[in-house]
Amino acid sequence: MDQLSLKIIKIRKPQKCWGCAGEFPVGTELTRSVIVDQGEFSSDYWCNECEALLNSLELWQLEEGFAMGELLNYKE
């Protein structure tokens, strides 16, 4: 898996955060991650709270990754 892009964008259509599965309206600033894995491209969106949690717990390093909304298990 290779990360091609990681940047903060203002979304132009409603999106869900991959970490908490929260829904965000148009105009919200989210972090967009674009990856390629075995020739397949995908993009995910992350809210500020989930991105901070990922960085503090160093969860970006998980080999197996995690499912949408799974970060709720790590929140206190």
3-state SS track over 14-44: CEEECCCCCEECCCCEEEEEEEEECCEEEEE
pLDDT reported for residue 64: 64
pLDDT reported for residue 27: 97
Q: Which domain holds residue 10?
A: 2-73
pLDDT reported for residue 42: 87
Domains in the chain, number: 1
- For residue 50, the surrounding DSSP H or E stretch is helix 48-57
Place of tokens 């901070």: 52
> How many other C-beta atoms are found inside a 10 Å radius of the C-beta of residue 66?
14
**What is the average per-residue pLDDT within 61-66?**
64
3-class DSSP state for residue 3? strand
**What is the average per-residue pLDDT within 5-26?**
95
Task: Tell me the per-residue pLDDT of 19-62, one tens digit each, with 9 for 90 and over.
Answer: 999 999 999 999 999 988 888 998 999 999 998 888 787 666 66
pLDDT grade for 4, boundaries at 50, 70 and 90: confident
